[in-house]
């Protein structure tokens, strides 16, 4: 247990209904005894039962600061596993700050960002993956991200990693025991057995890594890029989805020069949606930069909304765009459906098949493009509801993990899983080369160390400080 007592405002520092000042550490009860008055001359709070709530006043040198409810909780059954006191006061910024000041004056020190959660970790109540999940719960942008973070908070990643780590440790121990006591413990046939076990673990790790892309989508949103020829109606589509005139729309081709990013939430699905400059060959210096940026965004997109002006015939710029859409999840929007249309679904499908057919051989255009094509009018708003439904549907099918599936949402975890995977691959190579067993332990330990970095068992103090430094104050 750490020896000092910390305090912070744990609610948002803005005027609100209720504000919370939290105190954690061995002197929490001393501090509250000094500043709390019940008004009825009752016992000190330190003499009251744990996990109870008390009504009274916070006083500073005999002057009432605010009327409060105080929650007293003895460790280890608390968030930090230490003695904890929470003061619910009126949620004015001034009231909260005055209470915090009084608490500090009476024996606590201001907490650093994330220090409460760090204590929960250092006191062994949660592991690092759970601590990180605390932050994810706070920052969850949609209901699925929240659900996943809560499952990690409960320890889903921790359990999975602990299992893997346990198995690796078993093998390290087995080899070391045999080397220490070769007379009684034999390593005959061991390599084969270890190879099978490790192959199984590699599969598990690969499966976890493969969830990370969806994990990112779940956590941050689907990176959706609106692309197409100049004047196709891209900015109009963005505005229609947002329900407001966010992007400039004019009849001049080449209106949008820079990328424009917005976040929208469709029934619990988050899209980080980017409007881009129309892609075409151009000599205009500024437009050229915009086109370059558009192409770059397109490359990194999870999903592309390819807007086609159906009132005009497709041209070589559409070909360029289609070429870039290879292997990209795409929804094609035949826009301006309110006008007389000259471009049909079939024409676009044929074009896709022609462009990609040359490099991928003969398959049906549907199979190859696999892209849904919708007729919409961004101007009149028709078909936008269909687009919204389709976006939701794609998300449910693709990114939502089933209830019991552990999903990696943290890129730090992903990187460490890749390290573990590489180490295990090296173990396999050593086995196939017939290396002596003690050689295997080096890479087994490497894998163990990488996995321990996820749960925090092997993380250095710097890494831990860095992680908690990103937390908000009071958490």
Q: Which residues bind Mg ion (CB under 5 A)?
A: 234-235, 255-256
Q: What is the CA radius of gyration of the chain?
A: 29
Q: What is the DSSP string of 380-404?
A: TTBTHHHHHHHHHHHHHHHT---TT
We find the least distance from the C-beta atom of residue 277 to ligand GTP, in angstroms, to be 6
Assign 157 to helix, strand or coil: helix
Q: By C-beta, is 215 or 383 nearer to ligand GTP?
A: 383
Q: Which two tokens stand for residue 177?
A: 């025991």
Give which of ligand GTP, Mg ion, none residue 254 binds (C-beta under 5 to 8 Å, depending on kind).
ligand GTP
Q: Is 335 in the site for ligand GTP (CB under 6 A)?
A: yes
Pairing of strands 36-37, 269-275: unpaired
CA 107/CA 473 separation, integer angstroms = 19
Is the Cβ–Cβ distance between 139 and 62 less than 8 Å? no
We find the least distance from the C-beta atom of residue 391 to ligand GTP, in angstroms, to be 18
| Residues in contact with ligand GTP, shown as a per-residue x/- string from 131 to 170 under the rule CB under 6 A | ----------------------------------------
Selected from 25, 91, 215, 278, the binder of ligand GTP by CB under 6 A is 278
Q: Which of positions 208-247 make contact with ligand GTP (CB under 6 A)?
A: 228, 230-236
Selected from 28, 152, 256, 343, the binder of ligand GTP by CB under 6 A is 256
Q: By C-beta, is 129 or 231 nearer to ligand GTP?
A: 231
We find the least distance from the C-beta atom of residue 401 to Mg ion, in angstroms, to be 35
Q: By C-beta, is 235 or 455 nearer to Mg ion?
A: 235
Q: By C-beta, is 235 or 330 nearer to Mg ion?
A: 235
The C-alpha angle with vertex 265 and arms to 262 and 271, in degrees rounded to 5, equals 55
Given the rule CB under 6 A, which of 126-134, 331-339, 367-375, 466-474 is the region that contacts ligand GTP? 331-339
* Residue 7, CA distances (Å) to 60, 90, 106 in order: 16, 17, 11
We find the least distance from the C-beta atom of residue 120 to ligand GTP, in angstroms, to be 49
191's CB contacts (< 8 A; 6+ apart) are 431, 434, 437
Give which of ligand GTP, Mg ion, none residue 148 binds (C-beta under 5 to 8 Å, depending on kind).
none
Q: By C-beta, is 336 or 421 nearer to ligand GTP?
A: 336
Given the rule CB under 6 A, which of 13-21, 52-60, 253-261, 415-423 is the region that contacts ligand GTP? 253-261
Give which of ligand GTP, Mg ion, none residue 251 binds (C-beta under 5 to 8 Å, depending on kind).
ligand GTP
Selected from 22, 216, 223, 336, the binder of ligand GTP by CB under 6 A is 336
Cis bond before residue 76 (omega within 30° of 0): yes
Half-sphere exposure of residue 338, counting CA atoms within 13 Å on the CB side?
Answer: 9
Q: What backbone torsions phi and psi does residue 285 show, to the nearest 5 degrees? A: -60, -50
Looking up tokens 């605390």 gives 134
Looking up tokens 């991200």 gives 145
Is the Cβ–Cβ distance between 235 and 262 less than 8 Å? no
Maximum pairwise Cα distance, the chain: 88
Residue nearest to ligand GTP according to CB distances in the complex? 278
| Residues in contact with ligand GTP, shown as a per-residue x/- string from 372 to 391 under the rule CB under 6 A | -----xxx------------
We find the least distance from the C-beta atom of residue 281 to ligand GTP, in angstroms, to be 14
CA 211/CA 355 separation, integer angstroms = 32
CA 408/CA 57 separation, integer angstroms = 46
We find the least distance from the C-beta atom of residue 342 to Mg ion, in angstroms, to be 21
We find the least distance from the C-beta atom of residue 231 to Mg ion, in angstroms, to be 8
Give which of Mg ion, ligand GTP, none residue 236 binds (C-beta under 5 to 8 Å, depending on kind).
ligand GTP
Q: Could you report how far apart the first and last alpha carbons of the chain are, in Å? A: 18
Q: By C-beta, is 215 or 228 nearer to ligand GTP?
A: 228
CA 69/CA 181 separation, integer angstroms = 63
Q: Which residues bind ligand GTP (CB under 6 A)?
A: 228, 230-236, 249-251, 253-256, 277-278, 335-336, 338-339, 377-379
């Amino acid at each position: 247990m750490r020896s000092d007592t910390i305090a912070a405002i744990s609610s948002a520092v803005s005027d609100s209904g209720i504000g919370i000042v939290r105190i954690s550490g061995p002197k929490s009860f001393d501090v509250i005894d000094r500043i709390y008055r019940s008004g009825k001359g009752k016992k000190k709070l330190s003499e009251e039962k744990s996990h109870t709530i008390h009504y009274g006043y916070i006083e500073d040198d005999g002057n009432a600061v605010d009327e409060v409810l105080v929650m007293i909780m003895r460790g280890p059954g608390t968030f930090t596993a230490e003695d904890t006191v929470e003061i619910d006061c009126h949620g004015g910024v001034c009231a909260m700050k005055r209470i915090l000041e009084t608490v500090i004056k009476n024996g606590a020190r201001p907490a650093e960002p994330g220090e409460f959660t760090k204590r929960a970790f250092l006191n062994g109540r949660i592991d690092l993956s759970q601590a990180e999940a605390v932050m994810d719960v706070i920052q969850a942008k949609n209901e699925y991200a929240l659900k996943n973070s809560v499952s990690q908070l409960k320890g889903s990643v921790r359990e999975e990693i602990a299992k893997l780590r346990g198995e690796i440790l078993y093998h390290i121990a087995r080899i070391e025991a045999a080397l220490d006591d070769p007379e009684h413990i034999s390593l005959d046939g061991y390599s084969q057995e270890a190879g099978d076990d490790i192959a199984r673990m590699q599969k598990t790790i690969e499966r976890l890594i493969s969830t990370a892309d969806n994990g990112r989508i779940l956590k941050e949103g689907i990176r959706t890029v609106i692309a197409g020829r100049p004047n196709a109606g891209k900015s109009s589509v963005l505005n229609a989805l947002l329900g407001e005139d966010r992007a400039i729309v004019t009849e001049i081709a080449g209106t949008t020069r820079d990328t424009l990013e917005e976040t929208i939430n469709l029934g619990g699905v988050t899209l980080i949606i980017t409007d881009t400059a129309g892609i075409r060959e151009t000599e205009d210096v500024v437009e050229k930069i915009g086109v370059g940026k558009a192409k770059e965004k397109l490359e990194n997109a999870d999903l592309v909304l390819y807007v086609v002006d159906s009132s005009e015939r497709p041209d070589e710029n559409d070909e360029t765009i289609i070429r870039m859409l290879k292997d990209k999840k795409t929804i094609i929007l035949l826009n301006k459906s309110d006008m007389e249309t000259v471009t049909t679904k079939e024409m676009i499908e044929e074009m896709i098949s022609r462009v990609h057919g040359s490099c991928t051989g003969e398959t049906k255009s549907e199979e190859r493009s696999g892209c849904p094509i919708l007729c919409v009018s961004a101007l009149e708003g028709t078909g936008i509801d269909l687009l919204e439904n389709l976006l939701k549907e794609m998300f449910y099918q693709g990114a939502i993990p089933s209830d019991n599936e552990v999903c990696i949402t943290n890129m730090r975890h992903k990187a460490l899983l890749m390290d573990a995977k590489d180490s295990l691959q090296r173990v396999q190579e050593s086995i196939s080369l017939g290396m002596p067993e003690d050689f295997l332990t080096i890479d087994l330990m490497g894998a163990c160390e990488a996995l321990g970095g996820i749960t925090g068992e092997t993380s250095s103090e710097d890494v831990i400080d860095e992680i908690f430094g990103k937390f908000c104050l009071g958490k």
